[in-house]
């Protein structure tokens, strides 16, 4: 079965989004950046709280607000699908 590859346009957009995410993450305050990075890596809020020594409410708020900031930043860069 042949391997399915994304179109060149899709690959280019993927690179742009990746660079945009890195740039936007860098603009977040440190606790939000850490919380969102762990979230994007697949950690759940309770795991983030435990790993960072935060209570669950703080971890949840940091993930929520950080993702909101990330979306706003990507939107401002016109990098939304």
The predicted pLDDT at position 62 comes to 98
Mean pLDDT over 20-34 rounds to 97
Q: Enter the pTM of the model.
A: 0.84
Mean pLDDT over 3-30 rounds to 90
The predicted pLDDT at position 14 comes to 87
Residue ranges of domains in the chain: 29-81
Would you mind telling me the total number of residues written for the chain in this entry?
81
Mind listing the pLDDT tens digit for each residue in 39-68? 999 999 999 999 999 999 999 999 999 999
3-state secondary structure of 53: coil
CB-CB neighbours of 37 under 10 Å: 15
Mean pLDDT over 20-27 rounds to 96
Helix-strand-coil split of the chain, %, nearest 5? 75, 0, 25
């Amino acid at each position: 079965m042949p391997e399915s590859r994304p179109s060149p346009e899709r690959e280019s957009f993927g690179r742009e989004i990746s660079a945009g995410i890195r740039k936007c993450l860098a603009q977040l305050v440190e606790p939000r950046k850490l919380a969102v990075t762990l979230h994007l890596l697949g950690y759940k809020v309770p795991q983030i709280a435990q790993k960072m020594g935060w209570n669950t409410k703080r971890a949840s708020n940091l993930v929520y607000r950080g993702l909101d900031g990330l979306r706003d930043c990507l939107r401002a860069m016109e990098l939304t699908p």
